[in-house]
């Protein structure tokens, strides 16, 4: 019997309970064991809730019950969730979580404890919602040297960008819709400013490249400067604006970045819309492989959590022993050195003078026609070190013939 306590009865916690209740018979069959929901811990009251009989506000009810052998942590954050996770693992209990912040911050320590205690610490739901990606990276793709990952990892921002582009919704309305649908974080700043994607690409990169990648060192930009005009122009030019999270290995270092990008419409990620996420993984044997599905929301995320529970039930006495190297300060490449192109759109006072200047500093001769925007110029730079190109874009702000730099986004073919 697997006796479970769910810690945190928010969007994901309620989803986990719903899935276990709804599909209990088939889950038990697949697990080869009885999956028994024994407690739900939450500090809030849920009067008249059908699960009232198993609800508690006292963590010790759970930790003092020797029958509880699996903890589902769906509290989120790195505060009490960290304490409970550590306590659970140290007491020899398996832990399943959707908490990307905790995994990205304390992954090496928690995995090490799990290994020492011969228990599982599984977090399939922490990246990509319902998409299987953690286990495939650890197991199915284990034969490969993974060379790069390019991904859309945040459902909320993808939903916002899609609504802006397709339905002409303004940013605030699109965000509210995402919140109503349960996609956004409690504080949506983490979504909009790219921090959620950053933690997720850090987790994937740590698994893929076999060295802990600290999210705190990943340069991260969000989507709050993307305007409706940007979206309209991108569409007219056959581009899509997406919040991309990407990383690659160069030598013994990792390069990683989160930022909005202009993707050509033929790119594999260009048509990933709404709350969907996708992860394009490149390996030396497999070539490219893409994972696609719902990246947020109650039931998709619960699907991944319950999948981990079943995995544990099937391997109850044998931990997967996933281990990450300890934190290393210097395993991230200087992002300014990595070659990139930019899409740039400027408002001009004098088009000919601006063109001459752009030609001189960027070597650009071709300009993109922007129908309906007569006082603007757009162009794509040649490839060069990121720092050099962004420095040249800053210089545009100083010259008399350009009145404003409206857009500067990394362009990806």
Residues serving a catalytic function are 200
Tokens of 253: 């270092």
| Interaction of residue 15 with ligand HSE, rule CB under 6 A | no
Within 225-284, the residues that bind ligand HSE by CB under 6 A are: none
Sign of CA dihedral 128, 190, 302, 316: positive
Nearest in space to 411 (alpha carbons), one of 362, 344, 338: 344
Q: How many binding residues for ligand HSE (CB under 6 A)? A: 11
Among 191, 230, 308, 386, binds ligand HSE (CB under 6 A): 191
Stretch that binds ligand HSE, among 106-114, 134-142, 150-158, 310-318 (CB under 6 A): 150-158
**Is the Cβ of residue 305 or residue 348 nearer to ligand HSE in the bound state?**
305
Tell which one of 154, 331, 340, 401 touches ligand HSE (CB under 6 A).
154
**Residue 375, both tokens:** 């006082």
Residue number, nearest CB to ligand HSE? 156
Q: Which DSSP symbol is given to 330?
A: T
255: left (phi over 0), alpha (psi -120 to 50) or beta: beta
Strand ordering across the sheet containing 94-97: 55-56, 35-41, 2-7, 68-73, 94-97, 121-122
H or E element: which one contains 357?
helix 351-362
With binding defined as CB under 6 A, does residue 295 bind ligand HSE? yes
By CB under 6 A, which span of 73-81, 116-124, 182-190, 224-232 interacts with ligand HSE?
182-190
Please identify, using beta-carbon distances, which residue of 156 and 220 lies nearer to ligand HSE. 156
Q: Which residues of 151-178 are buried (b: 16+ CB within 10 A; e: fewer)?
A: bbbbbbbbbbbbbbbeeebebeebbebb
Which among 22-30, 43-51, 154-162, 385-393 is the span making contact with ligand HSE, rule CB under 6 A?
154-162
Stretch that binds ligand HSE, among 27-35, 52-60, 148-156, 331-339 (CB under 6 A): 148-156
Would you count residue 185 as binding ligand HSE (CB under 6 A)?
yes
For ligand HSE, which residue of 99, 156, 220, 331 counts as binding (CB under 6 A)?
Answer: 156
User: Cα–Cα distance between 66 and 325 in angstroms, integer?
Assistant: 32
Contact predicate 74/98, CB 8 Å: yes
Least distance from ligand HSE to the Cβ atom of residue 276, Å: 10
Choice from 75, 81, 88, 184 touching ligand HSE (CB under 6 A): 184
Separation CA 289–CA 143 (nearest Å): 14
Residue 129 as a binder of ligand HSE (CB under 6 A): the answer is yes
Binding residues for ligand HSE, rule: CB under 6 A, are 129, 154-156, 183-185, 191, 196, 295-296
């Amino acid at each position: 019997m697997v006796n479970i306590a769910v810690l945190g009865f928010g969007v994901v916690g309620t989803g986990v309970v719903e899935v276990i209740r709804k599909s209990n018979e088939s889950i038990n069959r697949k697990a080869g064991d009885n999956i028994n929901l024994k407690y739900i811990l939450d500090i809030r009251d849920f009067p008249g809730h059908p699960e009232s009989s198993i609800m508690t506000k006292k963590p010790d009810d759970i930790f003092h019950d020797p029958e509880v052998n699996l903890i589902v942590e769906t509290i989120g954050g790195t505060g009490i969730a960290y304490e409970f996770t550590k306590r659970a693992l140290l007491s020899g209990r398996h832990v399943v979580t959707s908490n990307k912040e905790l995994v990205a911050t304390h992954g090496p320590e928690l995995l090490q404890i799990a290994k020492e205690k011969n228990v599982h610490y599984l977090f399939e739901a922490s990246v990509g919602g319902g998409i299987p990606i953690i286990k495939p990276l650890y197991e199915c793709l284990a034969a490969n040297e993974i060379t790069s990952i390019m991904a859309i990892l945040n459902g909320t921002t993808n939903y916002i960008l899609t609504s802006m582009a397709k339905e002409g919704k303004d940013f605030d309305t699109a965000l509210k819709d995402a919140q109503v649908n349960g996609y956004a974080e409690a504080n949506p700043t983490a979504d909009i400013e790219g921090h959620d994607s950053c933690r997720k690409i850090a987790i994937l990169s740590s698994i893929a490249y076999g060295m802990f990648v600290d999210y705190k060192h990943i340069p991260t930009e969000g989507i709050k400067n993307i305007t409706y005009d940007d979206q309209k122009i991108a569409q007219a030019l056959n581009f899509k604006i997406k919040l991309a999270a990407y990383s690659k290995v160069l030598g013994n270092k990792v390069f990683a970045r989160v930022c909005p990008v202009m993707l050509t419409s033929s790119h594999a990620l260009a048509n990933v819309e709404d709350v969907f996420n996708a992860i394009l993984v490149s390996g030396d044997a497999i070539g490219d492989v893409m994972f696609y599905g719902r990246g947020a929301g109650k039931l998709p995320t619960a699907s991944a959590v319950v999948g981990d529970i079943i995995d544990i039930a099937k391997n109850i006495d044998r931990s997967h022993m996933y281990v990450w190297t300890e934190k290393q300060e210097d395993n991230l490449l200087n992002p300014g050195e990595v070659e990139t192109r930019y899409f740039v759109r400027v408002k001009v006072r004098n088009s000919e003078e601006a063109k001459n200047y752009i030609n001189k500093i960027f070597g650009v001769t071709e300009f993109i026609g922007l129908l309906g925007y007569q006082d603007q110029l757009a162009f794509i730079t040649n490839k060069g070190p990121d720092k050099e190109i962004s420095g040249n874009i800053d210089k545009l702000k100083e010259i008399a013939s350009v009145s404003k730099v409206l857009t500067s986004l990394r362009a990806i073919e």
